[in-house]
Structure formats: structure tokens, C-alpha cells
Structure 1
Amino acid sequence: MDYDDYKLEIISDINACMDALQAQPILFMGSGISQRYFGAPTWNDLMKYLSKTCPLITKRFEYYQQSFKRDNTKIASSFSEIYSEWAWEEEQNTRYPPEYFEEACDKDIYIKHEVSTYLDHLIESFNIEDNNFKKEIIELKKINPHAIITTNYDNLMELIFPDYCKIVGQKVVHLNYTSYGEILKIHGCSEAPETVVLTSEDYENFNKKKKYLSAKLLTYFAEHPLFFFGYSIADENIKGILSDIDEILAPNNELIPNIYMICYDKQCELKGIHPKEQLIAIDDNRSVRLKVIYASDFQWLYTALANCTPDVTVNPKLIRALLSKTYKLASQELPKQELPFNFKMLQSIADDDSQLPTLFGITQIPNHKAINTDFNFTITSLAEKLNLGGWHHVNNLLKEIAQEKDFQMKNSDNIYHIYIKTGKSGSGIHKYSNEAYKLLTKVKNKEDYNIIID
């Protein structure tokens, strides 16, 4: 297949997924993105830097690779001991903050300080205007993701998305379900070196608590399109998180339809075959099937995601503030009746979703009630009504209709479907009527059916 045709197929699939879930994407950003945009080191390069920086590490880096079988977390643990000794040498006390020499500080703080300082120094040169990937980054900024999750320590995502709120380490677990517009730094942050997950002991501790993190992220994984950038398929961090949620998201080894792994391949444009899904082993006995996208340039992917963003976007800080105050109102103030609330108004909102915007003084679109009454299904709710496993099964029924009756339901407004434009470059919401439900029921049950053209 020609790569341009491949891109069109991928973009069509992304649009279908975004349309089905009616939610902004979650971006999972790995070390490959930092390496691409500001020259961050690989794991091996970081360990090499640490081995050269400390004068007490006298053997070549290859010795440690050989001794610890290329396990960089164990190499980091070994270096941590040596860095602690170096730090406590009298002449080295000025290299680190005085508080690091207090009893309460863990001795791995010195090596984590070195890593954090090194990354902070590298990112000082990051500038979008002078960047080799300027066009890519500009498109990335347009996406307005629901949240960004990263295992990187650096502050690249904060520079690209300055209005997003940074949540570091185990604080992620304490987020309430209304969270929006956050950068979740699950392996720590260079601004707080003590939070960095670096050594084998750090990873062991992280893995013990990982199930709590995975449970917190499950809502994201289940309800949003999720895109992994800057990770390899063999990345142990990804396998670890998927291992805790695969049975919920993909029973019976089914394809997870809303999770995409973007695989960097410098030569992908020259290849005629591009697999669209891949089986990823997460341990000796289990594996998951994810969608995969091969790309050497991410601009077209970022653009595809950005085009699903509404034309009029709201600052994430405003949305977070609104959600936070609403959550506090519903969870704390209302039950205690601390304020003289208008409970009659609140009851009307509870009984009728369309009344909710009046609580915040938000103007609604004229005639929205007629549209919502006549076309009251999204593709996801239609799948639920039809007792199908997910929205992609509805898509399969629509393809079946197209083949048998030469009728592309989603290509026009008709008695089964209407398209409401909300985003850039023609993106919007596909809504379906009760007539669509009746038709798809017949198709699902292999009954005879006719198409009504109005």
C-alpha cells in the first residue's frame, strides 16, 4: 500500500474512534519525544554520563553493563552508592544543597540530583521557533488533550502545554474523577529530584503501588482515545501498566479499539506493508492486541488529532476550576447544607441534563433539544443499546450495509444519522436516531431490511 493511502486509512480510523468516544484524547508521551525535541539522552547515554561525571567510578561503563546484564536500573543502584560516597567527601559538599546532608534525606538523592540537573540544563536550549521539529510541535500544541501522561522526568510537556497542571508521582493516585488538563508525571519530575524513579529499588517500590495507579488510569484508558508517542513496543513501563488493565479492556484477547501505539520507523514511507495492529506480550502467559501506527514524521498525526478539537476551546485552567468547584459543591457543601442552596433548581437539573448549563450561566445552541430528541444516540450509546461489545462493532454493521445496499449512512444527513460540526477542518459529532437502531437491529439479526431515503 502506498504510504499516503495508509495515512488516509489511519486518519479515518482515528476520526471514527474520536467520534465514537466523544472525548478528547489522552497523550502518553515517552522518552523518544524528549530525545526528538531537545536531545534528551537515552537510558544508556544517561548512565554513561553518570559514569563519566563521578571520579569514583573508575571502570568503563561496559563493565557495569556486563555485571548487571544491561539492566540500567541496577546500574543506577550501583552508581547511587558511589555518588553518595562522593557527595560526603568534604570537598564535594558544595556540589549539592545543604539539606541533602540531613538524616531525613535518602542517600539516592545525590544521583537523582545529578540526573535532574543534567536534564534541566539540556532543556534550557529548547525553543519552539528554533527547533528542527517546529511544525510538529505547533501541531502538537493544537491538540488540547484531556490529559498528558508521561514517564519522563523533564519539563518538556510543561513548556509545550503551559496551561496544564503538573501532577507528580504518587499524587496522581489522589486525583478526583473530575481531573482535566493535567500532566501526570508518574515517574517523578526533575524539579523535585526526590520523586524521580531511577534505581531498581525505586522501580520495585513503584511496581508495588502500580495497581493503585492503574486503577486510577483505567477510566482514562476505557473512555478516551489513547496515543502512545515515544515508546517502543517492548517498553517495560507500558507492559507493566497494560498488565493490570488488559482483562477489563480486552476480554478474550480482543483488540483494544481506542489505544494506539505510534511506532517510529525512519524508513516506513518506503515500505509497502504496514501492520495496523500488533500482539504485545505483557508477561509469559498474557498478551494484548493494540492498534499500531508507523511514522517517521508526527505532524500528520498531530494534525489529525488537532482537527478533532472544537473550534472554540476553553482554557484548561478554567475547566479545572469549574470541575473542582462543582465537585466540592456536590461532595462536601451540598450534603452538609452549608449554604442556602436553591434545591428546587438543583432538582430540576438532576431530572433534566439540558438544564445543567443554566447553573453556570452558559448559553445553549438553539434547537438543540429537537436534535437531541430525534438523534439521541452516539455510536457508543448505540452499541450499548444493541448489546454489542463496543462502537467498532457498530462500524462493522455500517460497512455491511454499505456493501449490501450501497448506502453510506455517515456520508449524509438522513433519517438515520445527522452530523453536527463542532471542530476544525469539518470535524464534529455523528448522532444517530431510533430509526438507525431499528435498522441496525435487523442487520445484526440477519433479517431482511430496506433503506429509506428521505
Structure 2
Amino acid sequence: MAEAVVEEEAPKQTRYERYIEEITEDITNTVQEFGVQPILFVGSGLTKRYMDGPSWEELLGYLADKCSTIEKGLGFYKQSLGHPIEIGQEFSRLFQDWAWGAGANEFPKDLFEADVNKHSYVKYKIGEFFKGIKPAAVAGLKADFQPEIEALAKIRPHAIITTNYDEMLEMIFPDHERIIGQQLLKGQQVCIGELYKIHGCVTDHDSLVFTKDDYQEWDKKKKFLSAKLLTFFNEHPLIFIGYNAGDPNIKAILSDIDQALPEKGGVIPNVYILQWDPSLKDDSWPQRDKVIPTEDDRSVRVKMIVASDFGWVFDAFAANPALAHVNTKVLRALMARSYELVRSDIPKMKVEADFKMLNSAVESSEAFAKLFGIANINDYSAAGAYHPMSLTEVGKALGYKGWHSADALIWRVTQKTGTDIKKSDNRYHRADKVNKTVFHKYSADAIELLRKVRDEEEYQLDLGIPAEAK
């Protein structure tokens, strides 16, 4: 008598694994819905994570130890002056005194010319400090985080904005064009593949925004940045990495965004804050949104992502098959050349390169990649042609604004039938794995099925795969 075969049960999904799955789907659908690459806002927390860079307080502590005219400990200045920017202003004054006295040998001779800015001395030492912790290459960053760093690089962001002084991002995104401080206010950028270092860079110590005087001067001239931020907000997913939710830089940026919101009080659908939490466990269910106070007693709600490992978050933002091999540097050059081809008497306009355009072009033209020389995209299979739509496109075909309502209909199917159509490849759904993230695509059959669910009509699931989809 044959022995009964006992099938092993699949391991039960933990609460945090379910959280990862839901957040991942939210990210990928948001990226698809906007149809363009995300914008990254990067703070000092990421430099600290990958190459032991300092927090603002640690930087002030280093400066206090370095300068002999700073006779009292950092705690004294925190008590007396309170705000770090005020402390930076006072430290700059004390560094100038030191440079023109006992510390003269610590600075190059050209810093003692009459036209040198009084804040140059403290900024020179800040530049020295950051150059001292700079690794030679990306491989020199912390080995434990190499998979995370590789996942970050695969996002291929439309642009990066950072308040960091260091050059870590240049190593991770070597094809992005660096624009430092006041350069942002000059000329016309190509608007893709750019790294905006809005508080300066160690390659030019005088560009650093560090003292109270610097911040006041920057506030006077940041209108151009604010306008660019509003354009980014309207057109791209945004993710803040390496900032505390209460960081004054986040508050300032979100305050600008808040002014443009058509509706107040709801969660901004395309703005995420990534927060590190090393204490997460299998049964953790972190918060999904965060209220951030801005200015004039106002506040905004943004999406919160809580993780101890950032790799799955970066994979989700990078889950874009059509742009998997786009060379940012070549795309920048192509767009820059397109500006030169425009007659000088015709107003120039911004060129948008989004993956909706790439996606449709790939499906209709085998020569797309060769024509533009910016992507190496494999031919779509028959399965890809049968399942061409994102969940956002399915939702819009059903008359909704986005993907959330379509996802709710899929959940109703799961509740009624016990079958989640997203868990397998079938006539309604197909899953592609890009990096480590599952990328969901849907067919016209899925639209018809969900239409019946929406209208409360009878339906029968047929999970078979049609011959033309194989």
C-alpha cells in the first residue's frame, strides 16, 4: 500500500514580512503611477551609515576639540546658544581668532589675504575633516552595507538633493552631474541626472552653509530651489533618506510643498520618509504615515517607511524594468544636445523622459534601444504583451484615480474565493522579479474580472494561462 504524501505547509508570513510586502507594493505602484524616476533627498544619516560620517553634533564636537580658543566644552555652548546654527556662528568667530594667533600654522597662507571671508577658517577645517574620512571608492564603504549600496545605485534617480558636504553620493552615482550651492541659481540645468549639493561640498570649503550668516544668505536666494522642489513634487515620487523626521531641512522643504497642496490634511501620496529602526522584530507593525510640523503652526502627513535593512526599500524604488539599463550620463548628454538643436528664437522647454514612454516604445519597436543608445532592453515576451498594464492603469481603466481601489477589488476576490490572483502567474496577473522586488503586471482579463466585482456581478475565476500568453 502506497504511503500518503504529506505536503509541507508554506512557512507562515510574519507581521513585518506582510508590512514589507504592502509597503513594497505601495512604492512600486506609486512609481508607476507617476511614470518617472524618483527624487532622492539625502541627509547625513546615510553618510553615517555607510562611512561613519558625523552627525551635526559630532561635527561640532570635533571642531571644539580642534580649536584651542574654544576653551569650554560643547555642552557650554549648547546651554548658552541652544541652536546648532548659532553654535556654528560662534565657533567660526573663535576659529578666526585662533587662525590669526596660535593656530596660524594650521592654515595655508592664502587664507590670510584681506579679501578672505571670515568664516573660511572653520570651513577649511570642516573640509579637512571630511576629506579624512572619504574612502577611495564605493568598495571602501562599509562592507556590511554593500548589497544595500548596490540596491541604492540601481534606483537611477531623476535627481538627488542633499544637504551633505561629503562626496559619498558622487561615488554611488558617478554618472550624476554635481551642482554645488550657488551654481544651482545660475544657468539652465538639463533637469535629469543631477546631484544638487544645496549646502555646499568639501571640494570648495567656502561653499559650505554652516554659520547663521550662511543660512540667512541662503534663505534669501533659495527661491529657485523652492520652485524646482515644487516641480519635483508635482511630477515625481520623493524619498527622504538619512534625515530625522524633525530635521529642520525636512520641515523647510515640506513647508514649500505644503503651500502647493490642493487639499489639506490627507497623506501626500508621493512623499516618503525612510526611518531606521534596529529594534524591529517579526511581529512589528510600524506606522505607515507621519505628521510633520512645518511653519506657521501647519503640518503635513507623509508616508513613513520603517526598516533596519534598507535594501528591500531601495529594490522597490528600483523595480522599473524599462529603465533597468538606462545610462544616466548618456541620457543627460542626449538631452543636452537636444537643447542645442532648438533654434535660439524658440522658447526652450524641459524634456521629460519617463518610463511610460520607454515601456510603450519597447513594446512597439524593436529598434528603440539602438535608436537612442540609452538602454539595453530585451524584447518583451508574449506574456509581457498579454499582461501590459500596471495596477494603476487597471484602476484608471475602471474609472478610479489610481491603484488603491483596484487593489481593494482584488482583495474582495481573495475574500470570496480564497485565491489571491497576485500570488501566481495566470490569465489576470503576471509577476516579474526586478532585482529582488516583484513587479506586478495585469491583463485586459483582469479589468473585466474587477469590473464584475465592482458591479457586484457573478464571476468565475479561471487561473489558466492562455496559449497566446505563454
Q: TM-score, normalized by length of structure 2?
A: 0.77
The C-alpha deviation readout for 1:141-199, integer Å capped at 9, x for no partner, is: 33322222211100011112222211111333457574222221111111111111111
Listed as ranges, the matches of 1:276-315 within 5 Å are 276-308=288-320, 310=322, 312-315=324-327
The C-alpha deviation readout for 1:42-92, integer Å capped at 9, x for no partner, is: 1111111111111111122211111112x1110010111111122233x64
> Is 1:252 aligned with 2:253?
no
How many Å apart are 1:321 and its aligned residue?
0.2
Q: 1:41 aligns with which of 54, 69, 76?
A: 54
Residue 180 of structure 1 corresponds to 192
Q: 2:123 aligns with which of 112, 124, 136?
A: 112
For residues 234 and 111 of structure 1, do their structure 2 counterparts lie closer, same or farther at Cα, with a shift above 3 Å needed?
same
Q: 1:154 aligns with which of 166, 174, 183?
A: 166
How many Å apart are 1:441 and its aligned residue?
11
SS across alignment from 2:297: coil
The C-alpha deviation readout for 1:307-353, integer Å capped at 9, x for no partner, is: 435475122110000111113323x45849xxxxxxxxxxxxxxx99
Residue 8 of structure 2 corresponds to none
Partners of 1:431 and 1:412 in 2: CA distance: 10
Listed as ranges, the matches of 1:117-128 within 5 Å are 117-124=128-135, 128=139
For residues 229 and 318 of structure 1, do their structure 2 counterparts lie closer, same or farther at Cα, with a shift above 3 Å needed?
same
Deviates more, 1:219-228 or 1:55-64: 219-228
> Is 1:139 aligned with 2:159?
no
Is the 1:375–1:434 Cα contact (8 Å) retained in structure 2?
no
The C-alpha deviation readout for 1:369-421, integer Å capped at 9, x for no partner, is: xx99x99976657777888555545545655676678897777676xx77696
Is the 2:39–2:239 Cα contact (8 Å) retained in structure 1?
yes
Output the amino acid matched with 1:122.
I
The C-alpha deviation readout for 1:343-367, integer Å capped at 9, x for no partner, is: xxxxxxxxx9989x88983499989
For residues 360 and 429 of structure 1, do their structure 2 counterparts lie closer, same or farther at Cα, with a shift above 3 Å needed?
farther
For residues 387 and 76 of structure 1, do their structure 2 counterparts lie closer, same or farther at Cα, with a shift above 3 Å needed?
farther
The C-alpha deviation readout for 1:10-61, integer Å capped at 9, x for no partner, is: 2222222223223222222111111111111111111111111111111222
Listed as ranges, the matches of 1:7-26 within 5 Å are 7-26=20-39
Is the 1:163–1:317 Cα contact (8 Å) retained in structure 2?
yes
The C-alpha deviation readout for 1:245-297, integer Å capped at 9, x for no partner, is: 12434622111122211111110226633111121222352111111111122
Is the 1:379–1:391 Cα contact (8 Å) retained in structure 2?
yes
Deviates more, 1:97-106 or 1:278-287: 97-106
Is the 1:19–1:429 Cα contact (8 Å) retained in structure 2?
no
For residues 177 and 166 of structure 1, do their structure 2 counterparts lie closer, same or farther at Cα, with a shift above 3 Å needed?
closer
Give percent identity, aligned residues only.
33
Residue 361 of structure 1 corresponds to 371
How many Å apart are 1:94 and its aligned residue?
4.5
SS across alignment from 2:281: helix
Residue 286 of structure 2 corresponds to 274
For residues 393 and 247 of structure 1, do their structure 2 counterparts lie closer, same or farther at Cα, with a shift above 3 Å needed?
farther
Deviates more, 1:241-250 or 1:388-397: 388-397
SS across alignment from 2:264: helix
SS across alignment from 1:253: coil
Partners of 1:405 and 1:150 in 2: CA distance: 48
Residue 238 of structure 1 corresponds to 250
Deviates more, 1:241-250 or 1:376-385: 376-385
For residues 58 and 105 of structure 1, do their structure 2 counterparts lie closer, same or farther at Cα, with a shift above 3 Å needed?
same
Residue 211 of structure 2 corresponds to 199
Partners of 2:114 and 2:451 in 1: CA distance: 68
Partners of 1:284 and 1:399 in 2: CA distance: 41
Residue 325 of structure 1 corresponds to 337
Q: 1:229 aligns with which of 229, 241, 265?
A: 241
The C-alpha deviation readout for 1:230-258, integer Å capped at 9, x for no partner, is: 11111110011000112434622111122
For residues 60 and 449 of structure 1, do their structure 2 counterparts lie closer, same or farther at Cα, with a shift above 3 Å needed?
same
Listed as ranges, the matches of 1:337-348 within 5 Å are none
Output the amino acid matched with 2:62.
Y
Partners of 1:169 and 1:138 in 2: CA distance: 27
> Is 1:3 aligned with 2:16?
yes
Output the amino acid matched with 1:324.
A
For residues 388 and 49 of structure 1, do their structure 2 counterparts lie closer, same or farther at Cα, with a shift above 3 Å needed?
same
Q: 1:59 aligns with which of 67, 72, 79?
A: 72
The C-alpha deviation readout for 1:104-145, integer Å capped at 9, x for no partner, is: 332111111111110111124776256332232233233322
SS across alignment from 1:263: strand
Output the amino acid matched with 1:41.
P
For residues 309 and 52 of structure 1, do their structure 2 counterparts lie closer, same or farther at Cα, with a shift above 3 Å needed?
farther
How many Å apart are 1:426 and its aligned residue?
7.4
Q: Number of aligned pairs?
A: 431
For residues 259 and 74 of structure 1, do their structure 2 counterparts lie closer, same or farther at Cα, with a shift above 3 Å needed?
same
Partners of 1:395 and 1:170 in 2: CA distance: 45
How many Å apart are 1:424 and its aligned residue?
4.3
> Is 1:216 aligned with 2:228?
yes
Partners of 2:16 and 2:420 in 1: CA distance: 25
Partners of 2:456 and 2:452 in 1: CA distance: 11
Is the 2:24–2:316 Cα contact (8 Å) retained in structure 1?
yes
Q: TM-score, normalized by length of structure 1?
A: 0.79
Partners of 1:440 and 1:209 in 2: CA distance: 52
Partners of 2:16 and 2:431 in 1: CA distance: 31
SS across alignment from 1:272: coil
Residue 112 of structure 2 corresponds to 101
How many Å apart are 1:226 and its aligned residue?
2.0
Residue 342 of structure 1 corresponds to none
